[in-house]
Amino acid sequence: MSQSEPDLLGQLGGMDGVRRVVDEMYVRVLADPELTHFFDGVPIEKLARMQTEFIASITSGDIQYTGADLTKVHAGRGITGVHFSKFCGHLTDALEANNVSSHAIDQVLGKLAMYSDKITGSSNVDG
């Protein structure tokens, strides 16, 4: 990365950009009949704040994720690799809708993929 090139968080528009992406992503996720039931009874505003912090933390070394342990919070929910992939698809769509470059999107998805086993309880992302 050159001195003038922003870090990945900067390429997403900073915290405000990540917040916009996360808000748009949850509109899409909650409209998805295969995913929406995972969020029944979940306070979406709080979840969106934690998701914003999480994405910011994996895209910048300067931000610490302070939310719940990912393995514990997702355990027993029946989330498969297929669900994880669909979630990532909605994230991709939200990133594209916010004019994030394809290179930055690939980087975000690569970083997020490192956590798939914590979310699905399996090392197989494809389900």
Annotated binding site: 74
Annotated binding site for heme: 74
What single string gives the DSSP state of each residue in the chain? --TTS--HHHHTTHHHHHHHHHHHHHHHHHT-TTTGGGGTT--HHHHHHHHHHHHHHHH-TT----S--HHHHHTTS---HHHHHHHHHHHHHHHHHTT--HHHHHHHHHHHHTTHHHHHSSS-TT-
